[in-house]
């Protein structure tokens, strides 16, 4: 079996969309998938890409992906890579593709002088947690992920604009 990791190209957008939906089904979050394919394409492949995608193939057939972007550690004074999504189709699991995708990102992090590679995992996903720990990843239990989105994001953003006008 031939395993290949390659950078995604704009023609991969339908594939990326399908893999995102497959991941959402696996994570029981299909109801939260609401991206517009044109906007996703612009954000991944437009003039200012916000994220990158690599495609994992087995014998020339795409079976998984990793979507990632750079973040920054002020304590380290260096960038990092944040893995937003990693997914391997169920039929292709156990062939080393997930490990190859993570190893590819680790190599990119080293090549780009990043301080770390990090990601979040759902706490119920014991198979993924075990897989990650076997690769040397450690949970950051002392941290809690916080999020502002939707109406709360718009409301918070509007307070910044009001504050700027008041000065």
Report which of 150, 124, 143, 135 is spatially closest to residue 26, judged by C-alpha positions. 124
The HSE-up count of residue 49 (CA atoms within 13 Å, CB side) is: 13
Q: Which helix (H) or strand (E) holds 81?
A: strand 78-88
Angle at the Cα of 130 from the Cα atoms of 73 and 87, rounded to 5 degrees: 70
Q: How far apart are CA 27 and CA 84, in angstroms?
A: 13
Per the rule left: phi > 0, alpha: psi between -120 and 50, beta: everything else, 94 is left
Cα of 73 vs its chain's centroid, Å: 18
Q: Is residue 132 annotated as a catalytic residue, yes or no?
A: yes
The one catalytic residue in 50, 82, 87, 132 is 132
Do 72 and 79 contact (CB within 8 A), yes or no?
yes
- The Cα–Cα gap between 80 and 97 comes to 22
Q: Annotated catalytic sites, by residue?
A: 132
């Amino acid at each position: 079996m031939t395993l290949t990791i390659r950078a995604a190209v704009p023609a991969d957008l339908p594939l990326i969309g399908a893999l995102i939906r497959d991941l959402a089904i696996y994570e029981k979050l299909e109801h939260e998938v609401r991206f517009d394919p044109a906007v996703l394409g612009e954000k991944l492949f437009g003039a200012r890409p916000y994220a990158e995608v690599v495609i994992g193939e087995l014998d020339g057939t795409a079976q998984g992906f990793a979507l990632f972007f750079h973040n920054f550690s002020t304590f380290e004074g260096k960038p990092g890579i944040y893995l937003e999504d990693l997914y391997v189709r169920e039929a292709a699991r156990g062939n080393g593709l997930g490990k190859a995708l993570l190893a590819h990102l680790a190599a990119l992090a080293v090549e780009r002088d990043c301080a770390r590679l990090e990601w979040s995992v759902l706490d119920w996903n014991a198979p993924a947690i075990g897989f990650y720990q076997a690769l040397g990843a450690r949970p950051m239990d002392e941290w809690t992920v916080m999020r502002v989105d939707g109406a709360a994001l718009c409301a918070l953003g509007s307070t910044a604009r009001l504050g700027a006008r008041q000065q």
